[in-house]
């Protein structure tokens, strides 16, 4: 059995669990991932997850979360927040009587506003087929849209990958599904192209 603990310093419940980590690593195969401080908890072996890749791949919504893996590496159990009885059962420990019986966790950084779209675009595999255009470091997004003729003069919202993916998440259709032909050239119109235009229209 292998354990993985995801936490962050900016959380009262994680601060409660933090002092226990060093002892838990001594008796368990435990990996600890910190979302906001690679030196928290102190005196423990910590993996820096400030880019949130591992938290995102494990779909962590609350911290602390203790994930249990069986010998084949498959997740078999997950403890969210602090429940003294469950933590003792999983880790084989006997915690102090002064430890509270239960404490709810805090929101994972993966759930911060706008973060799910950014992390999905960065780490998930998507079927987005549209060509991505890289802008210069000093190039303004809004001006770039006008310069490329993407507007009839009215302001448009730059169709970033994150915004397009958020728009596509509202449909059950595949991004490359053709839903019609657009005159005058009768070009194929896919769900993805509609999503891009919907983003630009605001």
Q: Show me where the domains of the chain are located.
A: 2-110, 141-201
Predicted confidence at residue 35, as pLDDT, reads 98
Question: What is the reported pLDDT for 151?
Answer: 82
Which CATH fold would you assign to the domain 2-110? Glutaredoxin (3.40.30)
| Separation between Cα atoms, residue 44 and residue 40, nearest integer Å | 8
pLDDT value for 108 = 98
Q: Output the pLDDT for position 123.
A: 87
The reported pLDDT for the residue numbered 69 is 96
DSSP states along 30-90: EEEEESS-TT-STTS-EEE-TT-HHHHHTT--EESEEEEE-TTS-EEEEEESEEHHHHHHH
Question: Tens-of-pLDDT digits for all 202 residues of the chain?
Answer: 899 999 999 999 999 999 999 999 998 999 999 999 999 999 899 999 999 999 999 999 999 999 999 999 999 999 999 999 999 999 999 999 999 999 999 999 999 998 988 898 888 876 567 888 888 888 888 888 888 888 888 888 888 888 888 888 888 888 888 999 988 888 899 998 999 989 988 8
């Amino acid at each position: 059995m292998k354990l993985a603990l995801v936490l962050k310093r900016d959380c009262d419940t994680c601060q409660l669990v933090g002092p226990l980590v060093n002892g838990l690593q001594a008796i368990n195969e435990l990996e600890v991932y910190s979302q906001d401080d690679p030196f928290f908890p102190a005196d423990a072996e910590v993996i820096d997850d400030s880019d949130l890749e591992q938290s995102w791949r494990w779909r962590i919504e609350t911290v602390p979360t203790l994930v249990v893996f069986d010998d084949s590496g498959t997740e078999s159990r997950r403890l969210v927040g602090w429940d003294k009885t469950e933590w003792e059962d999983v880790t084989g420990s006997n915690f102090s009587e002064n430890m509270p019986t239960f404490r709810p966790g805090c929101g994972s950084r993966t759930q911060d506003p706008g973060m799910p779209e950014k992390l999905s675009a960065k780490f998930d595999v998507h079927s987005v087929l549209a060509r991505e255009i890289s802008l210069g470091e000093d190039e303004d997004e809004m001006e770039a849209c006008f310069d490329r003729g993407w507007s009839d003069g009215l302001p448009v919202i730059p169709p970033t990958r994150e915004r397009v993916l958020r728009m596509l998440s509202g449909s059950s259709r595949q991004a490359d599904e053709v839903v019609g032909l657009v005159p005058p050239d009768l070009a194929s119109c896919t769900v993805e192209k509609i999503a891009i235009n919907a983003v630009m229209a605001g």
